[in-house]
Structure 1
Amino acid sequence: MTPEGVFIRHPDKLFIGGEWVAPLSGDSIEIVNPNSEEVVARVGEAGKADMDRAVEAARQAFDHGPWPTTPPAERGAMLMKMAELLERRVPELAAAWTAQVGGLASFAPMMHGGAVMQMKGIAALGESFDWVEQKKGQAVDTAIIAREPVGVVAGIAPWNAPFGIMLNKVAYSLIAGCTIVMKPSPETPLEAYIIAEAAEEAGLPAGVVNLVPADRDASDHLVHNPGIDKVSFTGSTVAGKRIAEVCASRIARCSLELGGKSAAIVRDDFPIEAAANILGNTITVMSGQVCAMLSRAIVTRDRHDELAEAIAKVMKGIKIGNSDDPETQLGPLAMKRQLERVEMYVAEGKKSGADLVTGGQRPAHMNKGYFIEPTLFANVDNQSRIAQEEIFGPVLCLIPAEDEEDAIRIANESSFGLNGSVFTADPQAAYDISRRVRTGVMGQNGMRMEFGMPFGGFKQSGIGREGGEEGLWPYLETKTILLDGAPARL
């Protein structure tokens, strides 16, 4: 059973060792559309024994198969073939995303097409990256620096942007020469099925790409499996800490792209109306369910009330509705538990003494689905829960600062450090402030994204980077070979 417009050949099966096999558990996962609250798909659910099968298949393909020793340029060509196959299925991928998490149909084609373009960029590393370097040593005649695949990867993706995030993990794993076990979120497994079908159709060797949708217990079992050399995880900081502990216990590699509570510093030279427009519309992107979301806005105290009023005006004009409606600007939250989480934080915000300026309720005209209004809290204490914890919904905290120096202090007063922004007409000021904010990405005048560049966080926002050449490094081991003379070939 799959949603309308999504054509998966074996939704009831898992992809292990190049074959579509029934889960040993005999279980399945139901997928609920957050617009209608109705079940729209069912897929096979992997249990612990299925995880072990998938790891064994990936292990065999890495230890004995041709993939790790296939020349990088050839691996890149195979990835490009996969990308072309996926490009044809962008309409399906878009439909799957909208059905599973309520992503806007108007935004979905661009989002998924962009992910395929990013895969093509990663495929090009097969030819452009320095896989082997020859250097003159000090104590030896020749030193060879070789970059080799880290091994078997567990790729664990979240539910908010399941295709792009999983495809990124798959593409980097494959170009590096690794094999991978895909473990998508149980709420959004459909995109990973389409990736597996593309790998199969492109002719990748058996066991190089495997697919095991599963819930928490089986996923934890996967991370514990000694056959996994590296875990690439995107998701909450709480889950990331658990994965880091497990990996540390056996010195397995891990890269973690985790939560955020990113701040936008609004300088005094930036117009109030323009800032309100950006902030009020940004918080509704993907219903606020974005790890890099600008969820804290910091402004000098004498401009605070004017900015609060302007943001509230923008938020009140946001059209809330079904994800399939091209006029909709804010769709539902992805699931019932996420709606309940956001409602809990709204209640916490009220208790904290912050001013609820607008929102915080389910829309009066929507009697079904996991919808909530865009919400603005003003006069927020930066030490409060709503300012310090990731809400993952369309809730913006407006925080007053005494001056620019104080605004930078407040931005850094967070356990997270994923994203941020400086609203200013002066690029030099944006640069200077950006260098002082402890976060992995900073943009001028909005939530800026450049997916071909490194992305990742400081502090509890993660370990490692995704995007660009830097995104490849976590999938490689560096080997130094010291020789008395230069080899005839590398």
Structure 2
Amino acid sequence: MIDYEKLFIGGHWTEPASADPLEIRSPHDRSLVGRAAQASPADVDLAVQAARYAFDDGPWPRMAPAERQAVIARFNELHAARAEDLAALVTSENGSALWFTHMIQAHLVPEQTAAYLRAAESFGWEEPVDPGSAAGPLLRREPVGVVAAIIPWNAPHQSALVKMVPALLAGCTVILKASPETALDALALGDLFTEAGIPDGVVSILPADRATSEYLVAHPGIDKIAFTGSTAAGRRIASIAGEQLKRVSLELGGKSAAIILEDADLTAVSEGLKYLSFANNSESCVAHTRILAPRSRYEEVVAAVKTLVESLNVGDPTDPATWIGPMVRADQQQRVQSYIELGIKEGARLVTGGPDVPEGLEGGYYVRPTVFADVDNSMRIAQEEIFGPVLVIIPFEDEDDAVRIANDSPYGLGGGVWTADREHGIAVARRIRTGQVTVNGADPGTTAPFGGYKASGIGREFGVSGLAHYVELKTIAV
């Protein structure tokens, strides 16, 4: 069992103000994984004080960008060296299948950080506004200040470092507010930052509940909030930030549509949806959960998706053969089950799955991967984010109808187009109002911007676009 009795505040392991530790239990069998100190408002005050002093008077914001890059490059090496252990830890906390947490820790996160480092190397930290004029004003990009990075439990290190790394590269100081479900892996980052050479005060890590998170968001010592989570929570954060004119970036929910055109290869579609729809137990904001199929091939698509879903192994997330593990908590399990029951009541055809727990897995927070057909896009199961392995298959009449349905959503995060004609796929992708569209399952990588339209958020992450959210622009006219 892992036990973190202290919080990481300003680079030092510090006794929490309240003796109310978190118990982290496995979603698979409810066994005790570990205990972690839980932050209270008093701990937030201490972390903000340390971050404020480090930003206003410390060396980190005043270092040359290359010096900060060297520290983050060292951190990336240290973090990657622990990929296996960290993947196993995250799986034990949140129930994500080991194949997924290994992919995140060993591949995605190191490349994500490397992409930020490449962006920082070529970033115009100070440059003439008009390169052709020797007498023109200078443009400086300066750190935005003290950043509160608030993250969910579903991909904790990816969500943490996609915010912390660009903030630190820009010269900001950072307070990471971790989710209670994944407090252990968050606190594990503390010693890695220290070993990498982050100065005192620059980084704090606070696992905390929602009330303490809101206290952090509203704290007058915070200059910017970077949040990943639900759209409802994002609206609340945006309202607080708006009252105080704080900078804010929000990566929120989604209900992404995969448009299957008539000439699509259904074998390729099935293999792609295995990842795009069911990675991370489908507890993913960008999961493709609305499948749009042409009426001419509708039953063929339904049969292909049914075959795919019934082939996915559900069970112990530590088993390498498992594709889908448990939901993270009992209430999340119940939420997904309630949506399955709702789909049946709304009149959708239950193709496979259902609201009952898979046989033999009653000791954990499991749900059966479920597919609904004959779904109208106005149904709640087609409009609301379920955050679990539930797909809806919606028929369309023609391409214009498919685009209309895809765009008929309060969200606009991701989506996909499947076709034998690459250029045609790009043309359709241009018409979909989301922040990211994949044609035939292509990987957008970690350099291209990631974020959403509409209720899916504000701002972008990854690469130059992500780094730019952590700087203020200053013009110096000489």
Q: TM tier, shorter chain?
A: over 0.9
- 1:223 is matched with which residue? 217
- 2:446 is matched with which residue? 451
- 2:21 match: secondary structure: strand
- 1:436 is matched with which residue? 431
Q: Which amino acid aligns with 1:257?
A: E
- 1:275 match: secondary structure: helix
Q: Indicate the larger mover: 107-116 or 407-416.
A: 107-116
Query: Does the 8 Å CA contact 1:77/1:123 hold for their aligned counterparts?
Result: no
Query: Does the 8 Å CA contact 2:153/2:181 hold for their aligned counterparts?
Result: yes
User: Shift of the alpha carbon at 1:26?
Assistant: 1.6
Query: Does the 8 Å CA contact 1:105/1:326 hold for their aligned counterparts?
Result: yes
Q: Indicate the larger mover: 296-305 or 39-48.
A: 296-305
Query: Does the 8 Å CA contact 2:100/2:280 hold for their aligned counterparts?
Result: no
Q: 1:469 to 1:280 in 2, by over 3 A?
A: closer
- 1:199 match: secondary structure: helix
User: Shift of the alpha carbon at 1:295?
Assistant: 0.3
Query: Does the 8 Å CA contact 1:281/1:315 hold for their aligned counterparts?
Result: no
- 2:23 is matched with which residue? 30
- 1:359 is matched with which residue? 353
Give the unaligned 5+ runs of structure 2.
none
User: Shift of the alpha carbon at 1:274?
Assistant: 3.5
Query: Does the 8 Å CA contact 1:137/1:143 hold for their aligned counterparts?
Result: no
- 1:110 is matched with which residue? 103
Q: 2:411 aligns with which of 404, 410, 416?
A: 416
- 1:381 is matched with which residue? 376
CA offsets 1:175-195 (integer angstroms, 9 cap, x no match): 000000010111112222122
Q: 1:81 to 1:277 in 2, by over 3 A?
A: closer
Moved over 4 A (4+): 136-140
User: Shift of the alpha carbon at 1:281?
Assistant: 5.6
Q: 1:168 aligns with which of 162, 165, 180?
A: 162
**TM-score normalized by structure 2?**
0.96
**Partner Cα separation in structure 1 for residue 151 and residue 17 of structure 2:** 23
**Partner Cα separation in structure 2 for residue 303 and residue 245 of structure 1:** 45
**Partner Cα separation in structure 2 for residue 125 and residue 450 of structure 1:** 14
User: Shift of the alpha carbon at 1:277?
Assistant: 4.1
Q: Which amino acid aligns with 1:435?
A: R
Query: Does the 8 Å CA contact 2:96/2:280 hold for their aligned counterparts?
Result: yes
The reply to whether residue 64 of structure 1 matches residue 19 of structure 2 is no
Query: Does the 8 Å CA contact 1:102/1:323 hold for their aligned counterparts?
Result: yes
- 1:212 match: secondary structure: strand
Q: Which amino acid aligns with 1:176?
A: A
Q: Indicate the larger mover: 134-143 or 226-235.
A: 134-143
Query: Does the 8 Å CA contact 2:16/2:39 hold for their aligned counterparts?
Result: yes
Q: Which amino acid aligns with 2:353?
A: G
Q: Indicate the larger mover: 232-241 or 368-377.
A: 368-377
**Partner Cα separation in structure 2 for residue 265 and residue 350 of structure 1:** 24
Query: Does the 8 Å CA contact 1:34/1:332 hold for their aligned counterparts?
Result: yes
- 2:177 is matched with which residue? 183
**Partner Cα separation in structure 2 for residue 272 and residue 390 of structure 1:** 25
**TM-score normalized by structure 1?**
0.94
**Partner Cα separation in structure 1 for residue 100 and residue 288 of structure 2:** 19
- 2:116 is matched with which residue? 122
- 1:106 match: secondary structure: helix
Give the unaligned 5+ runs of structure 1.
3-9, 484-490
**Partner Cα separation in structure 1 for residue 100 and residue 220 of structure 2:** 40
**Partner Cα separation in structure 2 for residue 49 and residue 161 of structure 1:** 28
User: Shift of the alpha carbon at 1:448?
Assistant: 3.6
What percent of counterpart residues are identical? 46
- 1:18 is matched with which residue? 11
Residues 228-377 of structure 1 mapped to structure 2, 5 A cutoff: 228-279=222-273, 282-360=276-354, 361-377=356-372
User: Shift of the alpha carbon at 1:409?
Assistant: 0.2
User: Shift of the alpha carbon at 1:220?
Assistant: 0.4
- 1:98 match: secondary structure: helix
CA offsets 1:35-61 (integer angstroms, 9 cap, x no match): 111221110000011111111110000
Query: Does the 8 Å CA contact 2:11/2:190 hold for their aligned counterparts?
Result: no
Q: Which amino acid aligns with 1:254?
A: V
Query: Does the 8 Å CA contact 1:184/1:192 hold for their aligned counterparts?
Result: yes
**Partner Cα separation in structure 2 for residue 106 and residue 415 of structure 1:** 32
Query: Does the 8 Å CA contact 1:131/1:147 hold for their aligned counterparts?
Result: yes
For the aligned residue pairs, the C-alpha RMSD in angstroms reads 1.7
Q: 1:411 to 1:96 in 2, by over 3 A?
A: same
- 1:425 match: secondary structure: coil
Q: Which amino acid aligns with 2:196?
A: A
Q: 1:129 to 1:137 in 2, by over 3 A?
A: closer
CA offsets 1:215-258 (integer angstroms, 9 cap, x no match): 01111000000100000000110100000000000000000000
- 2:36 is matched with which residue? 43
Query: Does the 8 Å CA contact 2:52/2:146 hold for their aligned counterparts?
Result: yes
**Partner Cα separation in structure 2 for residue 194 and residue 372 of structure 1:** 30
**Partner Cα separation in structure 2 for residue 349 and residue 80 of structure 1:** 48
- 1:488 is matched with which residue? none
- 2:182 match: secondary structure: coil
- 1:406 is matched with which residue? 401
Q: 1:281 to 1:226 in 2, by over 3 A?
A: closer
**Partner Cα separation in structure 1 for residue 279 and residue 118 of structure 2:** 30
**Partner Cα separation in structure 2 for residue 193 and residue 310 of structure 1:** 43
- 1:5 is matched with which residue? none
Q: 2:476 aligns with which of 475, 481, 488?
A: 481
- 1:147 is matched with which residue? 141
- 1:382 match: secondary structure: coil
- 2:98 match: secondary structure: coil
User: Shift of the alpha carbon at 1:121?
Assistant: 2.6
- 1:98 is matched with which residue? 91
Query: Does the 8 Å CA contact 1:453/1:467 hold for their aligned counterparts?
Result: yes
The count of corresponding residues between Structure 1 and Structure 2 is: 476
Q: Which amino acid aligns with 1:417?
A: G
Q: 2:45 aligns with which of 44, 47, 52?
A: 52
**Partner Cα separation in structure 2 for residue 319 and residue 139 of structure 1:** 63
